[in-house]
Amino acid sequence: MLNFKILCIFSIFVQLCQINCFSVDEINTNTYTMEQEAKLDTIILGAGCFWCVEAVFQQLNGVELVVPGYAGGFTTNPTYEEVCSESTGHAEVAKITFDNSKISLSKLLEVFFMTHDPTTLNRQGNDVGTQYRSAIFCVNNEQYQLAKLFKAKIDESSIWPNPVVTEIEMLDEFYEAENYHHNYYNNNKKQGYCQYVILPKIEKFKKIFSSEIKVK
């Protein structure tokens, strides 16, 4: 079944891989040269716990920076505790900054849809709540249109028995998470959640996308 899903999503990726996004908002320009900045894009992805999303996308070649945070809600500068209480409307997300000369948005979306279950509403495994919803927050219209098309193609392919519930919205505001959430897996590898939830996701990613792993 997994191989069938891989083939289906790869087919969708091939169909869409010619479509690229070039605009970017709110990239830290202090770290990069002007030439490097021109190649950088950013997108905000929610796929359950942001520790998992961060750990997976840190492995991906072409991804320059992954920052955990919150988006999609109505509370200004929310805290982790507030988001977990489901009183803010925010989802746990990761801000992905990537080099579009090394990786396309289509490939990022392929990884996104293959490393979580986009058909479970407000849930990933045992993590339950609106903050764990599947979501894509776009920074420009090109991203929005491609994400909608990708989602529609996946639904048409019947990879999953249930419809994809991933929310696709234009980004209103991204709020960076507290410092202790940053690089969480790498700093806490022996913790139970890292061993039994995050590590299997990383291993699945490496198995499916072995040619896309970042060379350290």
Residue 30: pLDDT above 80?
Answer: no
Least-confidence region, from 26-35, 48-57, 138-147, 205-214: 26-35
Q: Which amino acid is at 36?
A: Q
pLDDT (0 to 100) of residue 32: 56
Average pLDDT, the chain: 88
Least-confidence region, from 46-50, 104-108, 152-156: 152-156
98-139 pLDDT tens trace: 999 999 999 999 999 999 999 999 999 999 999 999 999 999
pTM above the 0.75 mark? yes
The distance from CA 119 to its chain's CA centroid, rounded to whole angstroms, is 15
Q: Is 97 helix (H, G, I), strand (E, B) or coil?
A: strand
Looking at residues 141-165, what average pLDDT do you find? 93
pLDDT (0 to 100) of residue 24: 34
The distance from CA 66 to its chain's CA centroid, rounded to whole angstroms, is 9
Instruction: Using a pLDDT cut of 70, give the percent of the chain over it.
Output: 82
Active site residues: 49
Structure tokens at 104: 């396309």
In SS3 terms, 4-50 reads as HHHHHHHHHHHHHCCCCCCCCCCCCCCCCCHHHHCCEEEEEEEECCH
pLDDT (0 to 100) of residue 26: 37
CB distance 171 to 138 below 8 Å: yes
Domains of the chain with CATH codes: 36-208 (3.30.1060.10)
- Would you place residue 159 in the very low, low, confident or very high pLDDT band (cuts 50, 70, 90)? confident
Separation CA 91–CA 79 (nearest Å)? 12
175-200 pLDDT tens trace: 999 999 999 999 999 999 999 999 99
Looking at residues 6-23, what average pLDDT do you find? 49
Q: Which amino acid is at 5?
A: K
